[in-house]
Amino acid sequence: MEFTHSTQVDTNVEETFAWHERKGAFRRLMPPWEQAELVSGESSLEDGTRLTFKFPMGPIKMKWVAEHSGYNPPHTFADTMVKGPFKTWHHVHSFVETENNTCRVDDRVEYTLPMGILGRIFGGGNVRKRLQRMFKAREIRLAKDLKRYHNFAHIKRKKILIAGSSGLIGRQLIAYFGTSGHDVWRLVRRTPKENEIQWDPSQGKIKAQELEGFDAIIHLGGAGIGDKRWTKKRKIVLEESRTKSTQLLSSTIAQLQNKPEVFIVSSAMGYYGSRGDENLTEQSAAGTGFLPDMCVAWEASAQAAKDAGVRTVHCRTGLVLDATGGVLKKMLLPAQLGAGGPIGWGKQWYSWISMDDQVYAIDHLMMSTDCEGVYNFGSPNPVRQKMFAKVLGKILRRPSFMPVPPFGIWFLMGKMGVTLATDSSKMLPNRLTESGYEFQYSDLEHALRDALGKWKK
């Protein structure tokens, strides 16, 4: 059996092929709903090298081992399945020069299903649909990433250190920076591997000399806000995981001989608290309550780096849309069961941002030397919660009119759940758009369809 797909991109053959050779390409090209986990082998596409990853097949995880062949840069490379769910699988990637120094990427997959004729009868159609969905997602991501990369391709690549790299945003940011040609390092708590530096923020331990020479240091870390009930102990963990780690990095940066050009630190729209229909810009005052107080302390923890003359950026992030985690993943099951309707009256504002815009905006602020201070990370078009539920229900083809009472959320998730579900934050990204950033997704339905792979036929 054969499957083919073509993707037109605006970069030349050499740049497009080089993008595929860099670390991070596998994660950026793999649709989030496939939930594939890279195990090893992303260092080369040369003949004989292998790439191993795991992916869910029902309740179990299967291993796929692919061996590369046909390496002819910048024109072709191929991979053949050595171990995996198919009887045979051979995928040829071809890069063809097109008009105006652009490129077309042609994918040709030849595969054989297991179980012979029974496999073709019962599985053939499903496999083809899955491939069509997967390669459409690859096409969308590749075209977007190469376009964004090209915006800053003329600027020298940077040496970047990232804390919180294993989180939802960190995984995609690491991959995007890798495919953009940057030298990416991670701050980790475990024993460090290649391109990793060990630290222990809870104990205030970090080796300052190892932070010398980085162009950018990015801190995304912090215990998950919605992972557990907000007990007194949990609130302390939430705040200290942010403030102590940021303070440690900030004070260490201030002492360096070779300080980074920029220090980027996460923050959250929780800074503003629940404000009804008020338009919240970067100039709006902080709200009151646990989340605003925590965010104020979080941002203040970076002051030492700022005082030392390092360009410091705070990203007040809204609801990040990604099928593999965060708020969208929590919403999916209730919505699929038809229980994803308005919460209360549903009039509260949700400030959302696509995962790609989250990544691209961080890159934009890192590469733009005139950008510093606070930036709201949310779409220019926040929506009311009942509209969010309606759009999600439409995409999933499920009813979304049944109200969800706040006491039900309280029963299941405590005060944390009620706060996160019912707070109203109409956050607007004024400074981000004024800096020249162009959102990839300003329409919620467009963003959700791409995030979930649920496109109109």
More confident site: 115 or 445: 445
Same-domain pairing of 147 and 182: no
Residue 68 Cα to chain centre, angstroms: 27
Whether 1 has a pLDDT exceeding 50, the answer reads yes
Q: Cis link prior to 201 (omega < 30° from 0)?
A: no
Q: What confidence tier does 407 reach under pLDDT thresholds 50, 70, 90?
A: low
Q: What confidence tier does 411 reach under pLDDT thresholds 50, 70, 90?
A: low
In the chain, pLDDT over 70 holds for what percent of residues?
A: 95
Whether 118 has a pLDDT exceeding 60, the answer reads no
User: Would you state the pLDDT for residue 231?
Assistant: 87
Q: What is the mean pLDDT of the chain?
A: 92
Count CB neighbours of 223 within 10 A. 13
Same-domain pairing of 165 and 140: no
User: Would you state the pLDDT for residue 320?
Assistant: 96
Same-domain pairing of 376 and 347: yes
**Mean pLDDT, residues 123-133 taken together:** 83
* Three-class secondary structure assignment of the chain: CEEEEEEEECCCHHHHHHHHHCCCHHHHHCCHHHCCEEEECCCCCCCCCEEEEEEEECCEEEEEEEEEEEEECCCEEEEEEEECCCCEEEEEEEEEEEHHHEEEEEEEEEEECCCHHHHHHHHHHHHHHHHHHHHHHHHHHHHHHHHHHHHCCCCCCCEEEEECCCCHHHHHHHHHHHHCCCEEEEEECCCCCCCEEEEEHHHCEECHHHHCCCCEEEECCCCCCCCCCCCHHHHHHHHHHHHHHHHHHHHHHHHCCCCCCEEEEEEEHHHHCCCCCCEECCCCCCCCCHHHHHHHHHHHCCHHHHHCCCEEEEEEECEEEECCEHHHHHHHHHHHCCCCCCECCCCCEECEEEHHHHHHHHHHHHHCCCCCEEEEECCCCCEEHHHHHHHHHHHHCCCCCCCECHHHHHHHHHHHHHHHHHCCCEECCHHHHHCCCCCCCCCHHHHHHHHHCCCCC
Q: How many domains does the chain have?
A: 2
Residues 274-283: tens digit of each pLDDT: 999 999 999 9
The angle that helices 355-367 and 168-179 make with each other, rounded to 10 degrees, is 60
Rounded-to-integer distance, Cα 281 and Cα 302, Å: 21
Sign of CA dihedral 11, 15, 21, 24: negative
Region of poorest pLDDT, from 31-40, 391-400, 441-450: 31-40
Rounded-to-integer distance, Cα 284 and Cα 427, Å: 10
Rounded-to-integer distance, Cα 77 and Cα 108, Å: 11
Where among 107, 132, 151 does a domain terminate?
151
Residues 314-326: tens digit of each pLDDT: 999 999 999 988 8
b/e per residue 154-182 (b: at least 16 CB within 10 A): eeeebebbbbbbebbbbbbbbbbbbbbbb
φ/ψ (deg, to 5) at 287:
-85, -165
| CA-to-CA dists, residue 99 to 147, 153, 316, angstroms | 16, 20, 41
Q: What is the CATH number of the domain that holds 248?
A: 3.40.50.720
Same-domain pairing of 191 and 128: no
Whether 57 has a pLDDT exceeding 60, the answer reads yes
Q: Is residue 457 included in any domain, yes or no?
A: no
The winner for highest mean pLDDT among 108-122, 252-266, 313-327 is 252-266
Residues 175-218: tens digit of each pLDDT: 999 999 999 999 999 999 999 999 999 999 999 999 999 999 99
User: Would you state the pLDDT for residue 121?
Assistant: 46
Q: What is the CATH number of the domain that holds 100?
A: 3.30.530.20
Same-domain pairing of 380 and 400: yes
Same-domain pairing of 115 and 200: no
User: Would you state the pLDDT for residue 414?
Assistant: 60
Same-domain pairing of 287 and 313: yes
Whether 305 has a pLDDT exceeding 70, the answer reads yes
User: Would you state the pLDDT for residue 55?
Assistant: 85
**Mean pLDDT, residues 287-314 taken together:** 97
221 conformational bin, left if phi > 0, alpha if psi -120 to 50, beta if neither? beta
Same-domain pairing of 112 and 182: no
**31 lies in which domain range?**
2-151
Q: Is residue 124 included in any domain, yes or no?
A: yes
Q: What confidence tier does 91 reach under pLDDT thresholds 50, 70, 90?
A: very high
Q: Is residue 312 included in any domain, yes or no?
A: yes
Whether 449 has a pLDDT exceeding 70, the answer reads yes
Contact indicator for 184, 194 with CB cutoff of 8 Å: no
Whether 436 has a pLDDT exceeding 90, the answer reads yes
Whether 233 has a pLDDT exceeding 50, the answer reads yes
Where among 103, 128, 151 does a domain terminate?
151
φ/ψ (deg, to 5) at 232:
-60, -40
Q: What confidence tier does 122 reach under pLDDT thresholds 50, 70, 90?
A: very low
Same-domain pairing of 119 and 167: no
